[in-house]
Amino acid sequence: MARKLLMGNEAIAEGAIRAGVAVATGYPGTPSSEILEAIARRRPDGVYAEWSANEKAALEVAAGAAIAGARALVTMKQVGLNVASDPLMSLNYVGVKGGMVVVVADDPGPISSQTEQDTRRFGQFAKFAVFDPSTPEEAYAMVADAFDLSEEIGRPVLFRPTTRVCHSYASVELLPDLPRRAPEGFIKDDGRWVIFPRLAYRNKIEIEKTLRRLGRELVCHSGVSHFDAAPRTDADGGSRDGDDAPAVKGIAAGGVSWCYVREALAVVRERLGARRARGEGEGGGVPPVRLLKVGTVPFAERLGVEFLDGLDEALVVEELDPVIEDSLIRLCGLRGLKAKIRGKATGDGILAGENTVEALVDAICNFLGGGSADVVGATADADHSGEAGKTDDEAPALPVRPPVLCAGCPHRGAFFAVKEAAKAASGKKAVFSGDIGCYTLGNALPLDMVDTCLCMGAGLTQAQGLGRAEPDATHFAFIGDSTFFHSGVTGLVNAVWNGADVAVVILDNGTTAMTGGQPHPGMARTLMGEPARRVSIYEVCKGVGVQDIQRVNVFDHAAAKEAAMRAAAARGVRVIIYEGPCVNIVPKGDALAVASDACRACGLCVRKLGCPALSEGADGKAAIDGILCTGCGLCRSVCPFDAIGAGEAVEGGAR
């Protein structure tokens, strides 16, 4: 078979294509975005892919395809599942005909999200089967099993890769495509596809029966759940074949944490072996280790009982919630098993963030009774090369680089214009409600222009609530173009209908910038690269009844500030659409430069804007990094001494 180096998300896409997916939908969100993009790049015959307006729309489009018998895939990140949860909860009761896999990428850390949510918990709450791959290779093969199971039980299933699975690379063995079946088409049946209360009651019973059956049978889809029956190997690498000594210690893990456990065990074996070779330890001091890998929800109970039988203790390693841990504790109670389960509840597992191999080496050493500090310390000495007492130079710590808006980002101009306008409205408090996107970084100094941030679209509606509680303040709501289409339109309708007093600032940079530049309804192309009818933000605002709408070039600072001042002075629902392309989708302009003789070292440009291309030189005067500068001109509009201009036009300009 051919092998291919694939990112985890690409592996999921390839697995879906192999499994015969016909319709793929989603909304971009790190770490899931590349899945749908990879499907669109391949563009296999008979496969349709789209970026939908939001996750709810994506799931409903896929649901329509699935009830017509097509295999459908939906992609999103964990907070996107919140948006899609309304139709998804009901869809589980209605069911599907074609296989439907909902890929929800979790983000332990969180690295690029508002929350740490565990989709396995959502699966338990909403009564879905969940697949939890540990590697890109496993994710590739597991997708087909997920489609097969969905069609077998007639309901959608969840597929939960985490950030490290999504974005790591592996050499994946590509398997032959599975036979494709043409969708049967939608067959009318009021007793199946229309969710009346009586149908929901009857189907709830079937859902519960199915979950109980899966808890007994769902033990080996592509090897994602299995049980290594020690005593065949122990932690220090010694063979236990033929040894009748009972295995009294076990480790259970799921997802990418399974890989970490295996790597950590290899390190522990190596270090313990090195200690004993130096005569610093005694053999036989570490018990054999029994391993349980869990890759599915509901929990495979038979496998769990076999794993726990005869154990004194079991350490559970997982991200994020104690799903496996709670399942093992429950089994012990139901079956009268004596094993002590150690994990998050006992302080043996982290409560937030990602697991790491380094942390697990210590945890496993402690758990196995080999000691942590002495093992790691002895190995640290052994790992250094050269003469006794000599140590390698430690690598310097990486510099701390807080996230900032890019040089030339149009959002900086919008924030600065509104900030200056709010200052001019002396004596009146201004509150700035933010939203999810690159522009959330407007909360950083020196801009300090994001006072609230909750979730997609919430800035616009939170500003309305703030206005009801504090009507004497001026309330600005910032929202990006993609977020406006995702979940901002409803909030705008609510503001118009209820007569809110809010200034809505729509930051239109012509792309979904934060997640990689994906198209949205305000752009004239689709995910498949086909021309599309562009949805006008201005016309949408006008259509829902907004009377006061301004469209402004955000790089024209004077006009941008004037628009903000008008909005600050007005009442009711008013909208400013600040238009300016993301720096990542347009060619870089000519860099500006500073005329040293004209600069008075006032520092206004540096202190007010926070542009990464601006800094103070050794002489206290402004300097512009010509590599970073895009020539947007915002700093030129701030300088009171006209010391900033085009590089070739400024004599003595510092680049």
| Residue 111 or 369, more confident | 111
pTM, two decimals, is: 0.86
User: Is the pLDDT score of 300 beyond 50?
Assistant: yes
Q: What is the pLDDT of residue 231?
A: 45
Q: Where are the domains of the chain?
A: 3-217, 226-377, 410-579, 592-654
Which of 377-380's residues contact partners 24+ apart within 8 Å by CB, and which partners? 378/271, 378/274, 378/275, 378/278, 378/280, 379/270, 379/271, 379/274, 379/275
Which pLDDT score, from 0 to 100, does residue 384 have? Answer: 35
Tokens of 568: 């600050």
Instruction: Compute the average pLDDT of residues 610-621.
Output: 92
- pLDDT class of 276 with cuts at 50, 70, 90: low
Q: How far apart are CA 252 and CA 314, in angstroms?
A: 7
- Asked if the domains 226-377 and 592-654 are classified in one and the same CATH topology, the answer is no
CATH 2.40.30.10 fits 592-654, yes or no: no
Residue 385 pLDDT grade (very low, low, confident, very high; cuts 50, 70, 90): very low
State the average pLDDT over residues 595-615.
93
Strands (E), 554-612: 573-579, 592-595
Closest-CA residue to 23 (of 91, 69, 78): 69
Q: How far apart are CA 69 and CA 61, in angstroms?
A: 13
Give the span between the Cα atoms of 460 and 521, in whole angstroms.
Answer: 19
Q: What is the CATH number of domain 410-579?
A: 3.40.50.970
Q: Which helix (H) or strand (E) holds 254?
A: strand 249-254
**DSSP code for 443:** G
Tokens, residue 580? 């300016």
Rounded-to-integer distance, Cα 463 and Cα 476, Å = 7
Q: Cβ atoms within 10 A of the Cβ of 195, count?
A: 14
pLDDT band at 193 (very low <50, low <70, confident <90, very high): confident
On whether the 3-217 domain is CATH 3.40.50.720, my answer is: no
pLDDT-above-90 percentage for the chain: 68
Provide mean pLDDT across the span 457-481: 95
Rounded Cα distance between 27 and 602, Å, is 45
Residue 277 has pLDDT above 90, yes or no: no
CATH number of 226-377: 3.40.50.920
Bridge partners (DSSP) listed for residue 575: 504, 549
What six digits make up the tokens of 343? 């994990």
- Residue 41 sits at φ, ψ, to 5 deg, of -65, -40
CB neighbours of residue 363 within 10 Å: 21
